[in-house]
Amino acid sequence: MPYADKQSELSARKWRRIRAYVLAQTTACGICGKPANAVDGPLNSVDHIVPISRGGALYDLENLRGCHLRCNQSRGADARPPKVDRIITSRNW
């Protein structure tokens, strides 16, 4: 799917604004529930509750939550789009 550079630049700006807003409201990690602390680090990451790859809304505040970067990264591993592990082609036996 092609997209214009101008559009992605606007999106980046919009995302920075929304991200700052979400983080300003965040007092505890949306994933592990703990506040910012020395072990888990600051709450400086924003997680999409429903991953974009699964149709989650990119800029919907209801789909966003602040969290630890560490928590987001470990969750990110699970939020990858499902890979197609088999492509069934017609086959003559």
Contact residues toward Zn ion (CB under 5 A) are 29, 31-32, 68, 71
- When CB distances to Zn ion are compared, the closest residue is 29
Beta carbon of residue 66, minimum distance to Zn ion (angstroms, whole number): 9
Beta carbon of residue 72, minimum distance to Zn ion (angstroms, whole number): 8
CA of 65: how far to CAs of 6, 34, 51, in Å? 27, 13, 12
Beta carbon of residue 29, minimum distance to Zn ion (angstroms, whole number): 3
Question: Which CB atom, from 18 or from 28, has the smaller least distance to Zn ion?
Answer: 28
Degrees, nearest 5: CA angle 26-32-38: 75
Amino acid code (one letter) for 32:
C
Question: Which CB atom, from 65 or from 68, has the smaller least distance to Zn ion?
Answer: 68
Distance, C-alpha 22 to centroid of its chain: 13
